[in-house]
Amino acid sequence: GALVYQYPRRTICKSGTSMRMECQAVGFQATSVAWYRQSPQKTFELIALSTVNSAIKYEQNFTQEKFPISHPNLSFSSMTVLNAYLEDRGLYLCGAREGQDTQYFGPGTRLLVL
């Protein structure tokens, strides 16, 4: 079946430092990967949508300079949170889309910023 792995599951970083998170699709070829952040209040924000061989599209309030994404093939994507601060904390979810419809989510990377 389709599985999405994310690493690390949980990370703590000091304010102003950076951390990288990874997303791996297993059992299917992901036509696109979307990165979301779920705030401590549980609401979701789309950070960016990445389609292989196409430019990565960032949503308003999110930039490549702050959240650079690498998507080298159909099964792997990584995103870095640069200069993390308190407002960046949350659960970062990777959604890998199979075909035209279903997006499968990984378990998320929970980011805590001290």
Partner 1 sequence: GEQVEQRPPHLSVREGDSAVITCTYTDPNSYYFFWYKQEPGASLQLLMKVFSSTEINEGQGFTVLLNKKDKRLSLNLTAAHPGDSAAYFCAVSGSGTNTGKLTFGDGTVLTVKP
Site of tokens 């805590």: 112
37 binds partner 1 (CB under 8 A): no
Interface residue with partner 1 among 31, 52, 62, 80 (CB under 8 A) is 31
104 binds partner 1 (CB under 8 A): yes
Q: Nearest CA to 51 among 100, 105, 12, 89?
A: 100
At 28 the three-state DSSP class reads: coil
Interface residue with partner 1 among 14, 40, 42, 65 (CB under 8 A) is 42
Q: What is the footprint of partner 1 within residues 50-89 (CB under 8 A)? A: 51
Indicate the residue type of 65.
E
CB nearer to partner 1: pick between 69 and 93? 93
Q: Which two tokens stand for residue 88?
A: 């960046």
Site of tokens 């959604």: 95
44 binds partner 1 (CB under 8 A): yes
